[in-house]
Amino acid sequence: MKRVLLLLITLVMALPATSGLGAPKSNEANSLARRGTEAARNRQWDEAIEDLRKAAEMDRKYAPSLVAALLGRATTYAGQQQFQQAATDYDEVLKLDSKNTTALEGRGLMALKMNDMDKSLAMYSQASKIDPKEIRYLQYQAYIYEVKGDLKNSMADNDKVLKLQPNNPDAIARKTRLETRLAQEGSGAAPPPAQSAPPGKP
């Protein structure tokens, strides 16, 4: 949440001051953007998004401010366990910026909360392609594969975590558990349950 608010402050400071003749539309967009960013700073998300959406329609340079406000509202919805509403806002962000890893991670977590494992895996996989060294994405992928019973892919992603962070306790525990499950599958014994999902944030 702090990251989103810092982004909003940075964006409002960067808004250009327009002056002179011949730029009424630019002035209007600038005014809407400033009003929207101020509303976002006060966490008045609906008003912020409405104004910033209008500003972005007039001038695409305000799209990053709209993205920041949508992320702020999504974070609020997620904190209130309104997962579908948060997912909708993350989807809106991804329409504006398909490589936004914050939105991809948040959307993946919302899908996980709504028990849509395939959607969640797709989001984390996409985020991981953009930032392959982010351990959180790999941990979630390993967790989801484990829950789905795809132990080989779970092990593959878990090994990537261990390569980046050899002493990661969750990855070490998962590797032991996966090895046990693979051995038990070979012998026909009942497998142990998957551990809980790694800690994450919307």
CATH class of 98-202: mainly alpha
Q: What is the mean pLDDT of residues 71-88?
A: 97
Question: pLDDT by residue (tens digit) across 178-200?
Answer: 999 999 887 654 555 555 566 55
Burial (Cβ within 10 Å: 0-12, 13-18, ≥19) of residue 149:
exposed
| Mean pLDDT, rounded, of the chain | 86
**Does the pLDDT value for residue 17 go beyond 70?**
no
Alpha-carbon gap, residue 85 to 89, rounded angstroms: 7
CB atoms near residue 202 (< 10 Å): 24
Cα-based distances in Å from 80 to 25, 46, 67, 122, 174: 37, 16, 20, 24, 30
What pLDDT shows up at residue 196? 58
Alpha-carbon gap, residue 202 to 178, rounded angstroms: 27
Torsion sign over Cα 130, 135, 137, 138: positive
Q: Which of 51-55, 78-82, 116-120, 166-170 has the lowest mean pLDDT?
A: 51-55
Dihedral angle, C-alpha 18, 24, 28, 29, nearest 10 °: -70
Q: What is the mean pLDDT of residues 46-54?
A: 93
Q: What is the mean pLDDT of residues 127-151?
A: 96
Residue 24 or 138, more confident: 138
Alpha-carbon gap, residue 155 to 126, rounded angstroms: 19
Please tell me what DSSP assigns to residue 61: G
> pTM score, two decimals?
0.79
Q: What is the mean pLDDT of residues 163-172?
A: 96
Domain spans in the chain, listed from the N-terminal domain onward: 1-86, 98-202
